[in-house]
Chain A
Amino acid sequence: DIVMTQTPLSLSVTPGQPASISCKSSQSLLENDGKIYLYWYLQKPGQSPQLLISEVSNRFSGVPDRFSGSGSGTDFTLKISRVEAEDVGVYYCMQSKQLPRTFGQGAKVEIK
């Protein structure tokens, strides 16, 4: 199975400041079709997960542009340019290059 490792697992951010979460995969997520099947999901407190970013860097419909994704191969990053109170929750990266789909441990973002 592909192991997804996120760092840090917890971060406390002042509103308006940037935040960054790293996700590393145990093997390359580059598929034969040239795509990289790396996704970011956010689970807000008491809610179901929601899709933020698909294929490394594509924001899902309605996701604010303060969220951005980058990376290649095995190293990926989710950045929030200016954290807002509504961004609190646990952020998960997930790979779907191969089965089983695997998630990172989750990174909890709190507001200072």
Chain B
Amino acid sequence: EVQLLESGGGLVQPGGSLRLSCAASGFTFSTYTMNWVRQAPGKGLEWVSAVSGGGDVTFYSDSVKGRFTISRDNSKNTMFLQMNSLRVEDTAVFYCAKDETGRGYFDYWGQGTLVTVSS
């Protein structure tokens, strides 16, 4: 059974940093592109970032480029999102999602972890 479990969310002040993790199980983790998608309170879905199976290719939305860094440790079946220079508008539930085809086929999602940026 595929499982994705996010952790690392919490309350942080503007300008602060946070590192999210997504622990995966039930599939060959290194084979698949993984993504972060976020959802601000009461709002819609926003794609944030993606990392290739090998971890060598990464993509970011313009809203986080230069502030967030996506990575993965295939030996630990875990993906990360290092978030620096956090802004109030980064407040959201962050979901990790497995991409079956590398083209947006998000077949499995985690339960999400809440990041709150507030003073």
Contact = CB atoms under 8 A, between A and B. Distances in A.
Interface of A: 37, 39, 41, 43, 48-51, 54, 60, 90, 92, 94-96, 99-106
Interface string B75-119: 000000000000000000001000000011111011110000000
B23 to A, nearest CB: 15
B105 A54 contact: yes
Shortest beta-carbon contacts, A-B, top 4: A96-B104, A101-B47, A48-B109, A103-B45
5 contacts: A48-B95, A51-B107, A54-B105, A100-B47, A103-B46
Contact of A99 (B59, B107, B110): B59
B44 A94 contact: no
Interface of B is mostly: strand
B105 A103 contact: no
Given A92-B44, A103-B44, A106-B44, A49 B104 contact: no
B1 interface: no
